[in-house]
């Protein structure tokens, strides 16, 4: 069957807009939309506040029917949203594939148990460094994360994992707790000591596993989290180019990133770490 959209995004408006109706900087829904646009994934998301009542129900049912997959942004706000529950009910009734993208511990809420149990949840709030890549892969089994993505596969030996190349050759040995796919020639890896670093396409650990958390490389920079749970950015040589001083951060896009300060405010910075 042909579908009009690859994805229907089910979300609570409070996760996307503030009380004044403005988009919350750096929110996860904006990030997901940007990734979908970058990788050519078609999606539908309800942004028309004028749609209400029975007409909105009709529109939602039609758009879910026309979508191959439903990505459910699972959050505390979503647990309080009547429309999210309606969307999930429609999706379940139509036997749609539902991907719960879990932003907090709300997936344990009674409202969501039926939609998250055994659904292969993607835990963004626990593993932000790989959740977005995992989401892309779950929608498009062979995702264009980069030119050499095709054919790379995660393999396991006991409790450890690595990567094989398109020929089946092991290029990243199975010595890591976790490994992501290559982005800009580097993949994130987690050591037995629960520290993160990066390996190149030959399996060399070019950036040592010493960080509490890392994000994939984007525009030559990746965010890292130090032992004090502060976030900054490194380059591909492992050099800290933006000091670890923020509470959270998003990958760079079009020359800028969003970072969160100690007051919980999201700020826009350039590649020198200057606030724009």
Break the chain into its structural domains and give their ranges.
5-139, 146-210, 212-276
CA atoms 258, 217, 107, 54: torsion sign:
positive
Q: CB of 196 within 8 A of CB of 211? A: yes
pLDDT per residue as tens digits for the range 200-212 = 999 999 999 999 8
Q: Look up residue 171 and give its two tokens.
A: 């290029």
Cα(6)–Cα(66) distance, integer angstroms: 9
Report the pLDDT value the prediction gives residue 206, as an integer from 0 to 100. 97
Residue 273: partners with Cβ closer than 8 Å, 6 or more residues away: 232, 233, 241, 242, 243
Q: Which positions of the chain have pLDDT values less than 50? A: 50, 142-149
212-276: in CATH 2.40.10.480: yes
Rounded Cα distance, 175 and 106, in Å? 33
pLDDT of residue 70: 93
> Counting every residue, how long is the chain?
276
What is the pLDDT at residue 144?
A: 40
User: What are the residues facing 100 on neighbouring strands?
Assistant: 72
The CATH number of the domain covering residues in 5-139: 3.40.50.10140
Burial of 12 (0-12, 13-18, 19+ CB in 10 A): buried
Could you check whether 146-210 and 212-276 share the same CATH topology? yes
Identify the pLDDT of residue 178. 83
For the domain bounded by 146-210, which CATH number is listed?
2.40.10
pLDDT of residue 170: 93
Tokens encoding 71: 């990505």
């Amino acid at each position: 069957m042909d579908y009009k959209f690859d994805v229907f995004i089910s979300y609570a408006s409070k996760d996307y807009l503030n009380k004044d109706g403005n988009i919350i900087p750096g929110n996860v829904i904006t990030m997901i939309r940007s990734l979908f646009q970058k990788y050519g994934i078609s999606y539908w998301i309800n942004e028309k506040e004028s749609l209400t009542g029975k007409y909105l129900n009709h529109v939602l049912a039609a758009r879910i029917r026309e979508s191959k997959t439903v990505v459910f942004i699972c959050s505390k706000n979503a647990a309080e949203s009547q429309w999210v529950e309606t969307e999930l009910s429609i999706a379940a009734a139509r036997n749609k594939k539902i991907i719960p993208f879990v932003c907090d511990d709300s997936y344990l809420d009674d409202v969501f148990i039926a939609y998250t149990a055994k659904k292969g949840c993607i835990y963004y709030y626990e593993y932000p460094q790989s959740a977005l890549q995992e989401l892309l892969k779950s929608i498009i089994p062979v995702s264009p994360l980069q030119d050499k993505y095709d054919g790379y596969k995660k393999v396991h030996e006991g409790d450890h994992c690595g990567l094989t190349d398109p020929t089946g050759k092991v290029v990243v040995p199975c010595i890591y707790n976790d490994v992501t796919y290559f982005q800009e020639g580097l993949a994130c890896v987690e050591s037995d000591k629960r520290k993160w670093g990066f390996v190149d396409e030959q399996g060399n650990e070019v950036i040592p596993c010493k960080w509490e958390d890392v994000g994939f490389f984007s525009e030559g920079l990746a965010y890292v989290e130090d032992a004090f749970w502060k976030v900054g950015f490194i380059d591909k040589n492992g050099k800290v180019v933006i000091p670890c001083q923020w509470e959270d951060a998003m990958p760079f896009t079009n020359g800028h990133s969003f970072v969160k300060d100690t007051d919980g405010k999201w700020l826009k910075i350039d590649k020198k770490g200057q606030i724009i």
